[in-house]
Each structure stands twice: as C-alpha cells, then as structure tokens.
Structure 1
Amino acid sequence: MSITKEVEDAVLDAGRRLADAGWTIEPIDDVPLLRDAGEVQERLWLGDGFPALADAVARDGDPGAQAVVDGMRAKVAAMPENVVVASLVRRTTLTRAWRLFLAEYPVLLLPVSGELPFPDNLDMQGAAGFQRVWDAQLTMRALPAMGLPGLVVSTGMVKDVPVGVQVVAGHFREDLCLLAGKAIEERGAPPSPIDPAM
C-alpha cells in the first residue's frame, strides 16, 4: 500500500509515543494479506444483489452512491457466480492468519488512509478520483472484513489538515486499542481549539 510521507510520519510518531509510554515497538515489513482482505470485503458487499443495488441507487439519485456503483460495476461483472461462498471461505483463512499474527504482535499501528484527507467529492470526479480514494482507504475496507477491532487516534495536524493512525488489535481486545490510543494521545501536542467559524 502506498502512503504519503505525512501519513508515514504520523505512524512513526505514534510508535515513538508508544515507546515513550513503555510499549515494546517493532517495525514490521509485512502483515498478512491486507489487499486480499480488502477484496473479500468488496466481494461480500457487492457480490450478491448488485443489479438491485444499482437500481436503488439510480432511483435515489445520490451522487456519492452512484460513484461507488459506477466505480465497481466492471469488477462486479467479472465476479464468479459463487463469489459470496468463495469469499466467506477466503475470509476464514485470512482471519486465521490475522489471529496468529496478532497473537505475536498484539497491537498494530497502520495508516487510516494512505493519503491525508482528500479534496471534497474527489471520488465523484471520474474513475481516476474514485480509484485513488478506494486504493488509499484499503485499511478501512480490509480490517472490518475480519471483524478486527480498530481505533483511530489523531496525532496532530499537517498544515490545516488532520492526520492520525489506526490502532488494531485481535478479536475481543478493544482494551488494547484503547490503552494504546490513550498513550498516543497523552504524549502528543495538546489538541488545537476548534474554530466555531469553520
């Protein structure tokens, strides 16, 4: 997954904050098949009943929902008939791999998105804009497919744009997400006051 330098810096900064709080930090070059999990999620979302979904979206007239339908139409057309059953089997395999990984590394810091927040409505500005958003938000699509708990923690601002990290733990270990999130927040700069004019 490609990430911008600002996003990478936020993840590294969050790791330093955890180290300062006494956590043992290890850089990890690879995690179990995140892209496969993202594909499982999109197949489960869209692999059954897509024509009815597309009709409902067209009737509703929501441009954001229409951008998703348009952006995924070709992928859905190429899905096999047994896509849901095959995806459920694949999800079981991926979930096992993630359970084993998180038994060794109980907390994982990941980007929330590969990029800083996008310009408004980028996903509705053609196929390239949609794909850019879709690709950058892989972690937000992949991890829920396996039911893993996650927590987004702000690490600060880059110019006038917020940036943060995603804290992920094993099943039923929301407590670890909260403990890590608290340690990250406590060792950061005080939050900027919210401007009511914005």
Structure 2
Amino acid sequence: MATSPRPTQPWQLSATELAAAVRAREISSTELVRSCLERIEETNPRLNALVDLRPEEALEEARRADERTVSGDELGPLHGVPVSIKINTEQRGYATSNGVPALAHRPAEGDAACVTALRAAGAVPLGRSNSPAFSFRWFSTNELHGRTLNPWDAERTPGGSSGGAAAGLAAGMTPLAQGNDIGGSIRFPAACCGVVGVRPTVGRISDWAPPAWADTPAGPVELDFPPTVHSCAVQGPLARTVADARLALHAMTTPDLRDSSGVPAVPLRPRPARPVRVRLVRGNGTVENHPAVDRALDRAAAHLADAGHAVEEVAELPLLTEAARLWALLITEDIRPMLPVVHQLGGDDIRTALEGHFAAAAELWGDRPDLETYINGWARRATLVTRLQELLGGDRILLTPVCAEPPFEQDADITDRDRARQLFPAMWPMTAVPVLGFPAVTVPVHVENGLPFSVQLIGGRFEEDLVLDAAQAVEDRSEVPWLWG
C-alpha cells in the first residue's frame, strides 16, 4: 500500500510501530496520546468523528501505562496505543448512548468484554466514535452528536454504523478503533474511508456487555436484544493496515461463555501448504456493479494471482444471494417488535430510514411475513452455514465487492424513497456475511475520482488469519495514499 512521506509525528505511525516504540521506550504513551489529541483538535471539529472526549482521563491512563513500562511488568501487545470506542459499546463511566438522547444520561457501570480485552492488551481508550441512532443505518448521524463526515469527500457517507471509527482512523485521530457489525457496520465504513475492517467469526470476540438500560416515562427499563443480535452481531477492529488489524484482532479475541454465542477456545487452524484458492464472486444477479467497483475487483484479483493464488471467477454465488435475502427477513422481523421504542426515543431520521428498510424488505418477503416463514428462515440459515463451510473449508476464500456502488451520497436512505430502495440490493455483500456468521475483511485497493474503493475477502469459520494473509497480499500491491500524504 502506498504511504505518506516519512512520518514526522507519532500519530502518523501504525499501531504496530507504535506498540514496538512504546515497548522499546522510544516514545511514551503520554507523548503518543498528546500527539493524537493534537491531531483530533486539528481535524475533529470538521469531521465530527469522535465525541465525548475526555483528554485528561486519557492522559491519566497513558501515565499509568508509562509507569508499567518502566516497572518491569509484562506488557500487552497494544501497550500504550490509543483506540477509539464506539458509542454503542459499554465503557465504564460513559453513557452507551447509541446516538439517542434518551440513552445519554446513564453511565455504564462496567466495560463490555471487548473493551476489557483491549485494556488488558494495554490499549488506551481515547474518544468515543460516532454512529447513527440505534446504530442502524449505513450513515453516521444522530440527534445527540450530529453528523460525521467522510474525510475523503464530505458529500459521501463515511459508512455506518461505525462511521466515526473509520473516519477518525482515516484522518489520523487514532491508530486503532473498535466497532461492531451486524449488516456491514465495520466493513462498509472501513471501505468508505479507505481503511481495513475485520468482521470476525461469531463467538471469537465476546459480545458480552453489562445490562443496557433506557430511561422511559415508566422508569428505567432493561433492554433485551433479539436473536439476530446474538447470532449475527460481532465486535471487531478497524485499522489503517492489515498488520494492525491482525494485531488488534488477536488482542480482542476473548473466549467468554457469558456471550450466548461465545466459544470456550478459538480452534487452532493449520495453515495450508500452498496459497489458498480464491473464487471471485462479481455480483448477485440482480444489481449491476459501478465500473469502479469492477475495476477494484479486477485489481484485487490480479494482486492475489501475483501472490500465487489460483483465482477463479463466477458471475454469482446463489448461496450468498440467498443469505442476503434471509438477512432482510430475519433482521427486519427482529426489529419489528422494537419499533415502538425506536419511535418513542428516536428522531425523524431513524424513523424515515426504518420506513425505507421495511419497504425494501417487503419487496422480498411481503408486508408481514408470518411466524412459519420466520422459523423456516432460521432453519434455512443453518443449512446455508453448513454449505458455505463445506465450500470454503480451510483452504479457499471468496473475493467479492463491498457494495455494488461507490460510498453513498449523504442521507441517500432518507431523502428519496426510490433511492433508498436501491441501497438494499447494492449492499448484498455486506448483508450476506453476518447472517451466516463467517469472517470477512475489507481492504482498500485504489482511489478513483477522489474516493477509495475496497474489496471484501470471506473465509471459512475461524479462518481469520487465512483471510488476513490474502488481504495483506492485496494491500502490499495496492496504491492507496494516506490523506495526510
């Protein structure tokens, strides 16, 4: 990947470089946090990527990290490295607001398991990253914190729901970011902002968190989450480089049986003796790719072939097409019982966005799918999981678009109903993966007309390292400059 001229400021270094420098005492965590804070002060007023900043708290954590550096204590792999935490993730002392004013007044009493893992690895939380209200749009704006802009083009979405995380990374505010993904919410923002996003296998990184509460006229209410959250949602890292993403992924890996989908231990996966086979899936048979999207696929396929991978192209993979269609059923029907709460606590944007979502889902499943259809959808999901695992095994991966379009224009899902319906089919690569729970990585390939274009790589369950190896091969051969280059 093309890089900027030789870094002159700590915030310009990769997380991997920074972790090594802190460990070697070439830089202190305090110096690093101050450098990031200066970059935030310079760029965040325009982009609004990070919210609820508490500089003195971050500096105090950095000071404690520096004390451990010189004490001889064992240091974690991310020791002293700043990371942003998303506003829908529990972090002690911060409200898990999800961009909703009614949720902004109850500080979390503890950390989510993924935040605990980052702290245990030595990372220093620095800022909360913005998201859409209820974290349910492919855009990042809400009534509480306002709109996040894409550092490449303010008229284009930074992605959602981890848009603040991706925009902050791309602008150099933090070297790492935590996000979560149930419909592309790590991978799509990463692609929109030209960084790397990792969606791990369901269960690899614990999704456990302290109970969530909402203040309602009837009093505090503990929030329960529907089946798709437990079966499809994951926590994961966003980073500027594949190496940084790998480092953060392994630091965040937290076998945790409090998580209803958690595994007791991540299975050891032997590396194949030869480069894995790659199947390029160009489309889904229903939506045409933008030419720049096809060019990104062609370049990534050429890079992988140059690295020794055997690349085979198919026009579509019906299994993925069906999985994306199932996502529209299962997610939508799980949201339906929550609509009264969303309508009560949310603003006009999320209401309009959900109207568009339901209209698009109705084109596939009808206005009100019955219980039998919903149950059969879950049954079919299990069959598709088995079939995809059989297809991929431990020595094959898929190469797909991120989206059939470039990053969407801001508020494309709420400004025009016809335009909103076009987004749903275009995002099939983002929605097919979560419903099956497989790992996927988005990695930038090139820049065209001032926008980054990325591809998605999908592997078998718990084959994250295999997918990251392929992503590294793409990154090594790609030309995507940093914004400050």
Same fold (TM over 0.5): yes
Q: Does 1:124 align with 2:414?
A: yes
How far did residue 104 of structure 1 move?
8.8
Ranges in structure 1 where 5+ consecutive residues have no aligned partner: none
What secondary structure, in the 3-state scheme, does the structure 1 residue paired with 2:446 have?
strand
Match among 338, 341, 362 for residue 56 of structure 1: 341
Aligned to 2:78: none
Aligned to 2:370: 80
Aligned to 1:193: 482
**CA deviation profile, 1:84-142 (whole Å, cap 9, x unmatched):** 32111010121122122213971111000000111111011122121111111111011
Aligned to 1:144: 434
What is the identity, as a one-letter code, of the residue corresponding to 1:135?
P
Task: Judge which range, 83-92 or 132-141, deviates more.
Answer: 83-92
Task: Judge which range, 162-171 or 61-70, deviates more.
Answer: 61-70
CA contact (8 A) 1:32 1:98 kept: no
CA contact (8 A) 1:32 1:101 kept: no
Aligned residues: 194
Identity %, equivalent residues: 27
CA contact (8 A) 1:148 1:169 kept: yes
Query: For residues 344 and 383 of structure 2, what CA distance do their matches in structure 1 show?
Result: 38
TM-aligned CA distance change 1:77 to 1:30, over 3 Å: closer
- Please, what TM-score do these two structures have when normalized by structure 1? 0.89
Query: For residues 412 and 373 of structure 2, what CA distance do their matches in structure 1 show?
Result: 29
How far did residue 9 of structure 1 move?
1.0
CA contact (8 A) 1:153 1:181 kept: yes
What secondary structure, in the 3-state scheme, does the structure 2 residue paired with 1:29 have?
strand
Ranges in structure 2 where 5+ consecutive residues have no aligned partner: 1-283
Query: For residues 165 and 49 of structure 1, what CA distance do their matches in structure 2 show?
Result: 29
How far did residue 83 of structure 1 move?
3.5
Larger relative strand fraction: 2
Query: For residues 395 and 299 of structure 2, what CA distance do their matches in structure 1 show?
Result: 18
Cα RMSD between the aligned structures? 2.1
Structure possessing the higher relative contact order (Cα contacts under 8 Å, 6 or more residues apart): 1
What secondary structure, in the 3-state scheme, does the structure 2 residue paired with 1:79 have?
coil
Counterparts of 1:24-43 in structure 2 under 5 Å? 24-43=310-329
Larger relative helix fraction: 1
TM-aligned CA distance change 1:49 to 1:193, over 3 Å: closer
Query: For residues 451 and 315 of structure 2, what CA distance do their matches in structure 1 show?
Result: 28
Aligned to 2:456: 166
Match among 300, 313, 333 for residue 14 of structure 1: 300
What secondary structure, in the 3-state scheme, does the structure 2 residue paired with 1:54 have?
helix
Aligned to 1:65: 350
Query: For residues 451 and 406 of structure 2, what CA distance do their matches in structure 1 show?
Result: 7
What secondary structure, in the 3-state scheme, does the structure 2 residue paired with 1:192 have?
coil
